[in-house]
Amino acid sequence: MSTQTTATTCPYCGVGCGVLVDRDAAGTVSVRGNPEHPANFGRLCSKGSALAETLGLEGRLLTPEVNGQACDWDQALDTVASGFRRIIDEYGPDAVAIYGSGQLLTEDYYVANKLMKGFIGSPNIDTNSRLCMASAVVGHKRAFGADAVPVCYEDLELADLVVLTGSNLAWCHPVLFQRLRAAREQNPNLKVVVIDPRRTDSCDIADLHLPLRPGSDIALFNGLLTHLSRYGKVDYRFLEQHGNGFSDALEAAEQSGSLPETAFLCGLPEQDVLQFFRWFAATEKTVTVFSQGINQSSVGTDKVNAIVNCHLLTGRIGRPGMGPFSITGQPNAMGGREVGGLANQLAAHMDFTPEDIDRVRRFWDAPNIADKPGLKAVDMFEAIGRGEIKAVWIMATNPAVSLPDADKVRAALAGCELVVVSDCMRETDTARLATVRLPALTWGEKDGTVTNSERRISRQRRFLPAPGAARADWWIICEVAKRLGFAEAFDYVAPCEIFREHARLSGFENGGRRAFDIGALAEISAAEYEALTPFQWPRPAGSRTGQTRLYGEGGFHTPSGRAQLVPVSHQAPQNAPNPDYPLILNTGRVRDHWHTLTRTGKAPRLCAHMPEPLAQIHPSDAYRLGLLEGDLVSIESLWGKAVVRLRLDEQQQEGCVFVPMHWNDSFSAQACIDAVVNPARDPLSGEPEFKHTPVKVQSCRYQWHGFCLSRETVSPIGDYWTQLPVVNGQRLEFACSEGVDWHSWAQAQAPAEVEWLEFKDPGRGLFRLAAVQDNRLAFCLFIGPEPNLPEREWLTTLLSADSLSVNERLALLSGAPPAGTGSQGRTVCSCFGVGENTICAAVRAGCHSAKEITRQLKAGGNCGSCLPEIERLIAENKRERAA
Ligand SMILES: Nc1nc2c(c(=O)[nH]1)N[C@H]1C(S)=C(S)[C@@H](COP(=O)(O)OP(=O)(O)OC[C@H]3O[C@@H](n4cnc5c(=O)[nH]c(N)nc54)[C@H](O)[C@@H]3O)O[C@H]1N2
Ligand SMILES: Nc1nc2c(c(=O)[nH]1)N[C@H]1C(S)=C(S)[C@@H](COP(=O)(O)OP(=O)(O)OC[C@H]3O[C@@H](n4cnc5c(=O)[nH]c(N)nc54)[C@H](O)[C@@H]3O)O[C@H]1N2
Ligand code: SF4
Ligand SMILES: [Mo]
């Protein structure tokens, strides 16, 4: 058998890049960008490039389990179905719930929604998209009458002004960032404005960065609306023909809309605000990209409408190079919105109106359709905590880590009668609380469709066999449905059949009233589905291609057909900092990790960029609080506490601390930041305020700090610890409040037949131990009373050395490379494994542009995700030389 190539879609972010997977005769898989996919035209980011490294079966859940005991599918499915049946019979359908995910495929999602809302008759199916896109959904519906994104990726390239607000595009939608960077090189007129309290890597291509006061976006965009109106930028023709609510929205905006007031509320210099307003006013082709800095807020929906208002007022929507652009996070966040995966939607862009309920009931021939919206994510878990929901089925998401007030979520699950978890991994923080674990297929093994941020539907295709007893999510859901007595309605044999029904429902009695319509695919054959190429919706019956942009000529989906400007006013976030909790906790993502680490946590080169959970804080705050770089600190709020490593960072705004969302109990102790995050949420969308929790930050005192590098996995130790893979081994960082017999601990961890090297300095409290086997480093342990232990990078490379040189052996316990050789330092480029020290040395030797660095060191030459960081190192070096 020769190499087989499969065209599929990346399972990470909502850019939805096409990837080509090559699988050779030996079964070795490699991944490259698909040059023909319109999302990426061949590009990939660091996460996409490393996909092949995440396919190993270690840690996978490969057999069903009931109460921790492996069992066969029949027993597991019977347990789920009989449990649900008993609870429904006793307490009614609202006592059961499904909590799904934007990482389900559309076909999985469709059947989950159909089962819950149409057949069980409970509206309680919600999803992690509630944590992500819900504010954009409500904002779109208020303004456009439908949850439809009017723009496409090409608009970023056609624009003359791109505003990124609450979006760290460089790290979270890196291929769009690459497209924008390339467009900027082509078009010298293209300006980029970044609006973010932090100076992120996205600012690398920004002409202007507005580090606004957290939560003040409405004031800024209301100020902009006022400015646009005052300076003659109102598109009266557009508003007369297609708009409503102009004067009310303007009146609301003007209440706080003078320039000095805006600048004051946003904590920004007046001239910077004015610069932004002038550029926006002067530039017809403007795209405003927004993401979680907007959505994840207790006023998220109003933030969205404040942005959309500015585009409607100027008529800048749905034409090439312009429009408000909500970019989705997960690979199928959009697909979930299409099928009705949110508790307040019914299906296929239909709501809980009497007509829609009747329409869907007839279409599904549903015996027992839900007739009112269900509980939104946070409310759902609160209802579980109160015992009102007695059975919950969690699919493709890890709520014990990713919901706010996470300790409360864990307690709710621990007390719930029946917790079913469908996951591909066995040990997630959520799966540990499950009564029944169902092994799901994952990327590469499953088949179906996803929709990206620009409404483009692409196929995910299988290229690997199903491992163990794992099954597709749609299959698992249908098997439970059959056991609940709904065999006929869930009798699908392949995802294609589900997709066909989904397409049919989208076109059913639609007549252009609902934005989501892919009726053209209602009769798609299995062969056509297999060969399906990416297309954008809507694509109603009779049309051969999808529609690139929406609403350029009006045609909004409101009853009047007109867009609605929504009056919104500035409001401070729900929980304000106060003397007890004086700092604002901001949370989000890092470049090379994905969510709760279940996939990226397997790839050493992705882990190298940020190996530990960090709190990033401005040096002047650290100074005031008496905190030092590298300290372990507790981040504490009224809701909970986490312990992470402190990093001083001038890119942070004073008064704020940023902590990544990724770490959890499966990879660390005490680093789950959602235990700290407040459960405040937007009253309309129910989306939590992940970016704004009042906290205090304090140094944690430990008696011992240490790290251990080992070829074999070691069992974690310490009050604080975190463990991630490195090339050829594991890295464990830890700290303890009490003394430990390090000798015995090390001996229990290292392989049996080894030669021990030891260094002790009891006076300074230093203890170092290395185990060498066949002249290769098998294990080393460094302990000291302070966090300032030797650099890990050089020692890590020794785990991969076939043999240790004499000098390396001698240097080993000093922790520093032998004289004459260097350590490359913290990894910056994960594709080629190039470190900070190597790059800085090249800069000092005369490399003064990222291009030259790439030419010399390769760094940045593959996916380009590290280019902003390389630019920053060059700039820092320049500053240092100037000083
Ligand atoms: N590497 C990586 N990429 C990902 C993911 C991942 O886990 N890792 N996850 C994907 C998913 S599901 C999502 S939803 C997206 C999220 O993509 P983004 O929304 O771009 O990412 P975040 O880091 O959550 O937050 C974006 C920015 O909002 C800023 N912010 C905080 N408060 C405010 C505010 O009040 N106003 C403004 N204007 N900005 C503010 C933060 O400082 C942060 O830089 O990323 C997707 N892509
Ligand atoms: N503090 C803070 N918290 C946040 C955010 C934030 O910015 N700050 N962002 C929020 C946002 S936007 C999001 S999207 C969420 C994401 O948070 P989660 O959805 O909880 O995170 P993931 O790690 O993506 O969880 C996906 C799970 O599905 C499993 N899985 C993967 N593939 C499959 C499959 O095919 N089938 C099944 N059944 N399981 C599979 C994985 O092993 C993993 O356990 O986090 C939210 N939480
Ligand atoms: S930008 Fe990166 S993570 Fe997102 S879809 Fe493309 S390759 Fe995957
Ligand atoms: Mo998300």
Question: Peptide bond preceding 538: is omega within 30 degrees of 0, i.e. cis?
Answer: yes
Query: Quick check: 103 and 396 in contact, CB under 8 A?
Result: yes
Ligand 2 in reach of 292 Cβ (< 6 A) = yes
Q: Which atom of ligand 2 is nearest to the CA of 101?
A: 19
Mutating to test ligand 2, I would choose from 433, 595, 672 the residue with most ligand atoms within 8 A of its C-beta, which is 595
Query: Quick check: 222 and 537 in contact, CB under 8 A?
Result: no
Kindly give the distance from the C-alpha atom of residue 691 to the centroid of ligand 1, in angstroms, as a whole number: 9
Which ligand gives the minimal distance to the CA of 131?
Answer: 2
Q: How far apart are CA 718 and CA 721, in angstroms?
A: 6
Ligand 3 in reach of 15 Cβ (< 6 A) = yes
Please report, for the chain, how many H helices and E strands are present, in that order: 30, 34
Q: How far apart are CA 186 and CA 69, in angstroms?
A: 60
Q: Which atom of ligand 3 is nearest to the CA of 594?
A: 3
What are the phi and psi torsion angles at 295 (to 5°)?
-65, -45
Which ligand gives the minimal distance to the CA of 11?
Answer: 3
Other CB atoms within a 10 A radius of the CB of residue 144 amount to 26
Kindly give the distance from the C-alpha atom of residue 278 to the centroid of ligand 4, in angstroms, as a whole number: 32
Ligand 3 in reach of 327 Cβ (< 6 A) = no
Kindly give the distance from the C-alpha atom of residue 47 to the centroid of ligand 3, in angstroms, as a whole number: 7
Ligand 2 in reach of 330 Cβ (< 6 A) = yes
- Tokens at 690, concatenated: 């992940």
> Is the torsion defined by CA of 646, 652, 655, 657 positive or negative?
negative
Ligand 3 in reach of 169 Cβ (< 6 A) = no
Query: Quick check: 358 and 508 in contact, CB under 8 A?
Result: no
Ligand 3 in reach of 724 Cβ (< 6 A) = no
pLDDT score, position 1: 62
Q: What is the DSSP letter of 521?
A: G
Kindly give the distance from the C-alpha atom of residue 19 to the centroid of ligand 3, in angstroms, as a whole number: 9
Kindly give the distance from the C-alpha atom of residue 42 to the centroid of ligand 3, in angstroms, as a whole number: 11
Q: How far apart are CA 737 and CA 718, in angstroms?
A: 8
Ligand 3 in reach of 476 Cβ (< 6 A) = no
What are the phi and psi torsion angles at 537 (to 5°)?
-90, 160
Nearest Cα neighbor of 772 from 787, 753, 745 is 753
Kindly give the distance from the C-alpha atom of residue 135 to the centroid of ligand 2, in angstroms, as a whole number: 18
What are the phi and psi torsion angles at 644 (to 5°)?
-140, 175
Q: Which atom of ligand 2 is nearest to the CA of 588?
A: 7
Nearest Cα neighbor of 654 from 603, 588, 583, 714 is 583
Which ligand gives the minimal distance to the CA of 639?
Answer: 2
Which residue, by CA, sits nearest to atom 10 of ligand 2? 131
Q: How far apart are CA 646 and CA 654, in angstroms?
A: 15
Mutating to test ligand 1, I would choose from 130, 131, 196 the residue with most ligand atoms within 8 A of its C-beta, which is 196
Q: How far apart are CA 394 and CA 388, in angstroms?
A: 17
Kindly give the distance from the C-alpha atom of residue 725 to the centroid of ligand 2, in angstroms, as a whole number: 20
Low-confidence stretches of the chain (pLDDT < 50) are none
Which ligand gives the minimal distance to the CA of 201?
Answer: 1
Q: How far apart are CA 848 and CA 875, in angstroms?
A: 9
pLDDT score, position 721: 97
Query: Quick check: 220 and 212 in contact, CB under 8 A?
Result: yes
Which ligand gives the minimal distance to the CA of 452?
Answer: 3
Ligand 3 in reach of 174 Cβ (< 6 A) = yes
Coil, strand or helix at 342: coil
How far are the Cα atoms of 4, 219, 395, 614 from residue 462, in angstroms, in the given order?
A: 12, 48, 20, 36
Query: Quick check: 509 and 552 in contact, CB under 8 A?
Result: no
Q: How far apart are CA 412 and CA 390, in angstroms?
A: 10
Q: Which atom of ligand 2 is nearest to the CA of 674?
A: 1
Q: Which atom of ligand 2 is nearest to the CA of 595?
A: 23
pLDDT score, position 878: 84
Which residue, by CA, sits nearest to atom 40 of ligand 2? 396
Ligand 3 in reach of 14 Cβ (< 6 A) = no
Beta strands per DSSP E along 396-453: 418-423, 436-439, 448-451
Nearest Cα neighbor of 213 from 196, 237, 194 is 196
Ligand 2 in reach of 167 Cβ (< 6 A) = no
Q: By CB neighbour count within 10 A (0-12 exposed, 13-18 middle, 19+ buried), where does 240 fall? A: exposed
Interhelix angle 217-230/246-254, rounded to 10 degrees, is 110
Kindly give the distance from the C-alpha atom of residue 330 to the centroid of ligand 4, in angstroms, as a whole number: 5
Query: Quick check: 135 and 292 in contact, CB under 8 A?
Result: no
Mutating to test ligand 3, I would choose from 9, 17, 202 the residue with most ligand atoms within 8 A of its C-beta, which is 17
Which residue, by CA, sits nearest to atom 18 of ligand 1? 167
Beta pairing, strands 191-195 & 208-210: parallel
Nearest Cα neighbor of 208 from 265, 157, 295, 271 is 271
DSSP run (H or E) holding 177 = helix 174-186
Other CB atoms within a 10 A radius of the CB of residue 129 amount to 29
Which residue, by CA, sits nearest to atom 4 of ligand 1? 172
Which ligand gives the minimal distance to the CA of 327?
Answer: 1
Query: Quick check: 477 and 111 in contact, CB under 8 A?
Result: yes
Ligand 3 in reach of 40 Cβ (< 6 A) = yes
Other CB atoms within a 10 A radius of the CB of residue 245 amount to 19
Which residue, by CA, sits nearest to atom 26 of ligand 1? 167
Q: Which atom of ligand 1 is nearest to the CA of 214?
A: 35
Kindly give the distance from the C-alpha atom of residue 10 to the centroid of ligand 3, in angstroms, as a whole number: 6
How far are the Cα atoms of 354, 439, 606 from residue 52, in angstroms, in the given order?
A: 48, 21, 12
Beta strands per DSSP E along 711-850: 720-726, 729-736, 755-761, 766-773, 776-784, 827-829, 834-835
pLDDT (tens digit per residue) in 97-133: 999 999 999 999 999 999 999 999 999 999 999 999 9
Mutating to test ligand 2, I would choose from 172, 198, 401, 424 the residue with most ligand atoms within 8 A of its C-beta, which is 424
Q: What is the DSSP letter of 94?
A: G
Nearest Cα neighbor of 445 from 428, 420, 469 is 469
Q: How far apart are CA 502 and CA 815, in angstroms?
A: 60
Query: Quick check: 515 and 349 in contact, CB under 8 A?
Result: yes
Kindly give the distance from the C-alpha atom of residue 12 to the centroid of ligand 3, in angstroms, as a whole number: 6
Amino acid at 150: P
Q: Which atom of ligand 1 is nearest to the CA of 290?
A: 19
Coil, strand or helix at 601: helix
Query: Quick check: 212 and 197 in contact, CB under 8 A?
Result: yes
Contacts 24+ apart (CB under 8 A), 741-749: 742/767, 742/769, 742/781, 742/783, 743/769, 745/717, 746/708, 746/771, 746/779, 746/781, 749/708, 749/710, 749/712, 749/714, 749/715, 749/779
- Tokens at 624, concatenated: 């005031």
CA-based max dimension of the chain: 83
Q: Which atom of ligand 1 is nearest to the CA of 47?
A: 1
Ligand 1 in reach of 591 Cβ (< 6 A) = yes
Ligand 3 in reach of 45 Cβ (< 6 A) = yes
Q: Which atom of ligand 1 is nearest to the CA of 14?
A: 46
Q: Which atom of ligand 3 is nearest to the CA of 9?
A: 5
Beta pairing, strands 456-460 & 448-451: antiparallel
Kindly give the distance from the C-alpha atom of residue 179 to the centroid of ligand 2, in angstroms, as a whole number: 26
